[in-house]
Amino acid sequence: MPNKAKIVWTKTDEAPRLATYSLFPIVRAFTKCADVEVELRDISLAGRVLAQFGYAEDDLAYLGELVWRPEANIVKLPNISATVPQLVDTIKELQSQNLGLPDYPEEPKTEEEKKIKEKYAKCLGSVVNPVLRQGNSDRRVAPPVKEYAQKTAQTRNWMKEVKPSCQSYVAHMICSDFYENEKSVTLEKDTKIRYEFVDPNGNVTVLKEAEVGKGDVVDGTFINRKKLREFYELVLQDAKGKDILFSLHVKATMMKVSDPVIFGDAIRVYFKDLFEKHAKELEEIGFNPNFGLVDLEKKLERLPKEQQEDIKKTIKEIYKKRPRLYMVDSDRGITNLHRPNDVIVDNSVPTIIKNGLQGWGPSGETDDCVITIPDRCYATMYREVVEDVKVNGQFNPTKVGTVQNIGLMAMKAEEYGSHDKTFFAPDNGIMRIVDEEGNLLVEHKVSQGDIYRSCITRDIAIRDWIKLAVRRAKETGLPIVFWLDQFRAHDREILKKVTEELSQHDLSDVDYYIKPPQDAMKFTLKRFREGKDTIAVTGNVLRDYLTDLFPIIEVGTSARCLSNVPLITGGGVFETGAGGSAPKHVQQFLKEGHLRWDSLGEFLALVEALNLAYKQAGDRKLLILANALSKAVGKYLKNDRTPKRKVGELDTRGSHYYLARYWAEELAAQTEDKELAEKFTPIAEALANNEQKILSEIDATQGSSKDIGGYYYPDDDKAEAAMRPSKTFNEIIDSI
């Protein structure tokens, strides 16, 4: 007897969460016929908060154990990587639902408040991905998606032309950044390391301890805050002189410790007159620039009316003196500096590129902009793209090739700036890393307030990454390019392992290159424009950036990527694309009853999960389900059943109807399993015969506002009713 397989479907946040209320019943109904259980687990921001305080099962912890077992088979939807403002909003919403959560203690004073903040800290930033990603990334655009994009590119027209007079450019630091200060070492034995700070008097404070193994790579680096602020001032002056928009691009969600401060320093410099003129009032209300201008808006009401007006007047005067700001929402006056999570570099820079190297200004106009990415580690790569577009013109999605990615991310590889190994120098002094015998590994002289970060990249993860790259090269026949910079300390250590590992493989049929990010981008873009395909083999952060950049150019969105994570122990995690647009989709649904989240990523991930389930359980029905779903996805794209933008047009719920119908039709038409064909023939007929009735029942709910009981933690009954409005469709699906 074959074993019963289990697929875990993750319940996450915002638009993907809403879509799950509609799609998951379809998935569960179609898979009943095979030896597989499809289970729902909540890893949303709200779910993580509730788990910390004992109101819900800790599903993330459960999945954290599961990924180390060979039977792991997880479909992972996009989730919120929370900033503090998002976390605070979530807490308030949960409190309004009569859940007895404590307030978030921004500045804890008692031991109890410190413990509360520690619990909430476990919900901040990119805490989900490091837990689940115990394997390296294999991410690419599936052929049917590429074909669909090429056929529809001219009508969808997502890539805007670049004006010959374009002044947009990428600005980055040229000294004293993370890139320049990085030091790295490969451990020669298993040991325990200590992160220490030595003050001017020689006193040593142990900041953190960590276990490391032989062959693991340990880094340390810092960014000089004084030089960072000087850099911002120069960029602001240049943007004002050129009369172009100032835009800042960081990742305060994933790099939750370092990047909010880098973001906050931009506010401190842009609004320096505000801090000089109203220092006392800003300190009195506790304004924290790291949380964005929204924090000032919320706390300003604590002051007397006269002082509020005085501060608002100063801000208006600053806007006249400083360059215009890139806008997130010009209609509502939300600037690039409003919230740290509003503009995320991996999505925001490609958005500017596809918009003809322009951003939105405060009056709703589009204009050239300075794309500010302070640290050089990857800014040079973005600079190369921008300059290429200025010289060679906009990319043509009907002609470009594809860029796949093999990303090093297993076991928290290169998760710097986001976790407990990121510190702020408490004084002028020395930050150092020593082993358990006291041997000095890495040392830096720092100034008070400097941002120090470190990461540990495991030897087993690095070698698995290299093997995966070689395997993909052999499977596809495509060239692989290792994006590694010999002038960067971390990359030099990785390069040694790449050289050693490659020497153990037969590379007679493998075309491989090793290039620094700027040169790798130049090489890849040349092939890309010629319609040739390439596999980029990169570290974790570049994986994040490139798997947004190229899919956005190729197919208009990174949400349509096929993202596989073959786990080191043999299981698999199948990620469903990016959720950068998810908040806007929810806002539209709540206001107009129209959801335009495209679940294509979920469809593609489910195909892969069913294929893995077949390997795990041996039930051939699972393979037939996977093949039929794959064909259904092709039909879904060919017939353009993806959700549309406007009220009254096809939305997410209607697109799920078509996916279910096409899947049923393919199962009815297949000849490998007579029982399956007989089971799904009446289902396919019922879905086809009731097409207009089902769509009209869905359309009848569009055009009016929706109450789902919460943004971060919707009421399940209300949300399901809103997302499954067709009685006819529900009865057919529930009858399977």
Residues 449-459: pLDDT tens digits?
999 999 999 99
- Position of tokens 């050129």? 242
CA distances in angstroms from 112 to 29, 53, 54, 185, listed in the order given: 47, 13, 16, 39
d(CA 537, CA 549): 15
Q: According to the model, what pLDDT value does residue 342 have?
A: 85
Residues 405 and 426: beta-carbon distance below 8 Å: no
Rounded Cα distance between 241 and 171, Å, is 15
Give the residue-averaged pLDDT of 435-450: 97
Residues in the chain: 736
pLDDT of residue 579: 56
pLDDT in tens, 287-304: 999 999 999 999 999 999
Segment 116-144, tens digit of pLDDT: 999 999 998 778 888 998 999 999 998 88
**What are the structure tokens assigned to 601, written together?**
């990523």
Eight-class DSSP state of 182? -
- Strand residue runs (E) in 408-483: 422-424, 429-435, 440-446, 451-457, 480-483
Lowest mean pLDDT among 225-239, 466-480, 523-537, 561-575: 561-575
Please give the biggest Cα pair distance in the chain.
Answer: 82
Contacts of residue 2, defined as CB under 8 A and 6 or more positions apart, other chains included, come to 35, 617, 618, 619
For the residues 68-95, what does the mean pLDDT come to? 93
Q: How far apart are CA 528 and CA 394, in angstroms?
A: 12
Whether residue 516 contacts residue 487, with contact meaning beta carbons closer than 8 Å, is answered with yes
Lowest-confidence pick of 13-27, 225-239, 341-355, 698-712: 341-355
The mean of the pLDDT values for the chain is 94
pLDDT higher at 83 or 427? 427
Q: Which of 530, 242, 178, 237 is nearest to 380 (CA)?
A: 178
- Distance between CA atoms of residues 539 and 219, nearest Å: 14
**Rounded to 5 degrees, what are φ and ψ at 662?**
-65, -35
Mean pLDDT value across residues 507-534: 97
Interval 573-592 mean pLDDT: 83
Q: Which two tokens stand for residue 210?
A: 């960590």
Q: Grade residue 600 by pLDDT with cuts at 50, 70 and 90.
A: very high
1 pLDDT band (50/70/90 cuts)?
very low
Q: Looking at this protein, which amino acid is placed at residue 390?
A: K
CB 145 within 8 Å of CB 555: yes
DSSP labels for 707-725? --S-SSS--HHHHHHHH--
SS (H, E, C) 16-64: HHHHHHHHHHHHHHHHHHCCEEEEEEECCHHHHHHHHCCCCCCHHHHHH
CA dist., res. 480 & res. 552, Å (int): 21
Q: How far is residue 171 from each of residues 174, 373, 466, 681, measured CA to CA in Å?
A: 9, 6, 32, 59
Supply the pTM of this predicted model: 0.86
Q: Is the dihedral of CA 457, 573, 67, 86 positive or negative?
A: positive
The two structure tokens encoding residue 730: 């529900």
Amino acid letter, residue 55: Y
Looking at 169-183, 513-527, 584-598, which range is the least confident one?
A: 584-598
At residue 570, what are phi and psi to the nearest 5 degrees? Answer: 115, -15
Q: Would you say residue 578 has pLDDT above 90? A: no
Return d(Cα 571, Cα 565) in angstroms, integer.
Answer: 9
Instruction: Determine the pLDDT at residue 106.
Output: 86
Q: Report the pLDDT value the prediction gives residue 418, as an integer from 0 to 100.
A: 61
Query: Is a pLDDT exceeding 70 seen at residue 703?
Result: yes
Distance CA(536)–CA(406), nearest Å, equals 6
Structure tokens at 394: 């906009």
